[in-house]
Amino acid sequence: MNKEKSIEALLSIDKELVLLSHINGVLVWDQESTSEHGKEERAQQIGLIERKIHEKATSDEMGEILTTLGASEEKKEGDADLPIDIKAIIRHRYHALSKEKKLSSSFVQHFSHTTSLAHETWVKARREDNYSLFAPVLEEIVSLIREKSDLYGYEDDPYDPLLDNFEPGMKTSEVKLVFDQLEGDLVQILERLRGRVEVEDSFLYQHYSEQKQELFSNDVLQAMGFDFKRGKVGISTHPYTISLGADDIRITTRYSEPSVTSPLYSIIHEGGHALYEMGVSHGSLKGTVLANASSLAFHESQSRLWENMIGRSRAFWKHFYKKFSTLFPTQLNGISEDQFYRAVNKVSPSPIRVDADEVTYSLHIMLRFNLERALLSGTLEVKDLKEAWNEGMNKLLGIEVKSDRLGVLQDVHWSMGEFAYFPTYALGNLYAAQIYHTMEQAISIDSIVESGDFSPIRHYLQENVYKWGALLEPKPLLEKITKEALNPTYYKEYLTNKYIKER
């Protein structure tokens, strides 16, 4: 097979793999509404699709194509004279081939089937507030994760090959170094806030009509640029974003939380993810593996940028508060715009990660990062995870965990077998602050947000972030956007300016 035919074959297989991943997305979305008796077969269906994806991505044909195009450990993008998009596809497919070929098809199917069923066990355990129901399943998942890490192989840390699945090019040692610095910064800011007058936010914890909440959330999504012709909003136990196709991006939220702002910021967060998905699949990358984010941390940077840096800003509520208070005149009677702004930015350690304030959020991630590494190394057993979790929450945040639902069972990720996913959340905060700082040099963000016309922000992000998709790995992409490597000081400066200097 010559080079031209190899490129045609590569693009054909790549398209098939993308379509299969979207089919899998349909099954995952449907799993949320499947009857109890249908969940077993749905898990089998998902497992079969993932096995087919694995087999096609690691086939001899794929290996021959990549070899013909010059791919190797020394040249992961293939021959230098190839077009940039083809080289990027080669890089992705070679990365998948070299790693996933180390996993047998039976292992992939067993792993997928196990985690699909584990999700339902997690939902039941969470509902019944009983970690012991989930622990046996998690024991099996941890065993499979250890096996996966060993099969991938590693030089320094068993966490490395797992982290590489979500944040290519990042090492565990690098994350630990950044987290050690970040923890010190966050603790310092938190200490400076202690002793200040408690922010009043009880008015957020009343009954707010779900119908009116949905109406307001849809208005915010509309302003952000969420295309309802290419997307849909649903309800689930754990909010998420998923692509069922290039023009079918789904997001979910939940209205079960006591605070009215929890569902709203969940919607804005997932909306940020959806804008990224819609942006990367809008142009020439559509239908290819490159119509994805550069990494999970880059994906998270966009959801956190919209949720916090825009959605919790004074400018945002200068525009939206009048409409919000009109929808809820009784609940917000006598509450000024400034009082509301301070309430939605209240810094107070919380047991729940998704409801954590900006100052303490990353401390939640550090706890999970440490626990995952301990489980993987065997220095922590699954049966002792609940106790270790509770001790960690007390040490980092001074919180006494009162239930499993508010503690070790609150996140869906371990039931999905997604170890090494959590660090991308905190890294996403850092990427977001650095990108936001750069964007501020180009456009007047506050005046744009206050106007309610967010299109200049969307245009900036489209041209500087979204359009690149996965053409570049995260490190070079961040440098391309901000003209420097990852710099945690921007996040510290952002938090200091907002929570220390402004108040």
| SS3 of residue 400 by DSSP | coil
CA distances from 400 to 128, 130, 349, 369, 391 (A): 20, 17, 11, 20, 8
Structure tokens at 214: 């949905």
67 close to 2: Cβ distance less than 8 angstroms: no
| Sequence letter at residue 128 | E
Residue 210: Cβ within 10 Å count: 13
Catalytic site residue from 77, 120, 167, 270 = 270
248-253 vs 241-245, strand pairing mode = antiparallel
DSSP 199: P
Say whether 183 is catalytic. no
Q: Give the list of residues 6+ apart from residue 15 with CB closer than 8 angstroms, or none.
A: 287, 288
Query: Distance from CA of residue 189 to its chain's centroid?
Result: 25
Q: Measure the CA–CA gap between 136 and 486, rounded to whole angstroms.
A: 39
Q: Measure the CA–CA gap between 478 and 434, rounded to whole angstroms.
A: 9
CA distances from 454 to 228, 264, 278, 367, 444 (A): 16, 17, 16, 35, 11
Active site residues: 270
